[in-house]
Amino acid sequence: MPITTPEHLLDKYNNDSNHFLKVLEEIFIPSVTSAGFNPIIPLSKGAELIQVEIIKNLFISDIVLCDISAFNPNVFFELGVRTALNKPVCYVKDNLTKAIPFDNSVINHHTYNANIANDKSEIIKLSEHINNSIKNPSDGNVLWKYFGIPAITHPIEVNITEKIDLLITEFTSINNHISSYEGVHLSIQEFLNDVNKKLGKILELKDKNEKLKKVNNQENRLKIKIDTLKNNNELSPEQLLNLGELLKLTAEIQKLKLEIILNE
């Protein structure tokens, strides 16, 4: 959902730049809680952290409440990600938004009153709509079902290097965010210094992982050559010599791997 009111729509929403924040606090959060779910608030600071958290939450959440009001581009991006994951979505819009655009118009959605007046009936109705949107979670996203498209998108396995890169991005974002403030409190500065130390260790871990990957590749190539020679029942003296050299290299690689692992 949009958190800040788009500037070109301020007149429509009584010049209230915090209109959608109030909708979140006074309608959406109570409705989600009433429906029996724990709300995950879509608020974060730092561009990298926002993307990391959003994608993670879009994947792990049982249901996503998607407010199409104001036609926010970020909302449609997030809706696309959730739809690609074939997971259920609860569509809503306010009464000032004429219709849900595109092919989503065929999907059941709830219209809430944009005039926030602590109306408990809005919470009750939205709570019911949320529960109706996830009656059969195994059915996945209704768009897939409606258009008869087989779900083929699955999360990929992430290797250790990609996980380390993600940690580096998060630490760097925290670092940049805290550094942007003047007169940082001492305890925060100490935290920042600790973050930088951890970042250094993570970079060392990434370098170590890259070295191990190269060594493992060399070891695998050697094993193939050794197995090829071993399968030959009649080895020539030259081939026996080659086999001995290969076994020696394998031992040296094992030693190198141990040094990389133990080197702090």
Domains of the chain: residue spans and CATH: 7-147 (3.40.50), 160-262 (no CATH)
pLDDT at residue 261 is higher than 90: no
Please give the backbone phi and psi of residue 74, each rounded to the nearest 5 degrees, phi first. Answer: -65, -35
Q: Are 143 and 107 a contacting pair, CB within 8 Å? A: yes
pLDDT at residue 141 is higher than 90: no
pTM over 0.85: no
Sheet holding 64-67, edge to edge: 64-67, 89-94, 109-112
Lookup: tokens for 155? 């999360």
Average pLDDT, the chain: 75
pLDDT at residue 16 is higher than 80: yes
CA-nearest of 78, 65, 148 to 106 is: 148
Q: Between helices 47-60 and 73-84, what is the axis angle to 10°?
A: 40
Share of the chain above pLDDT 90, in %: 17
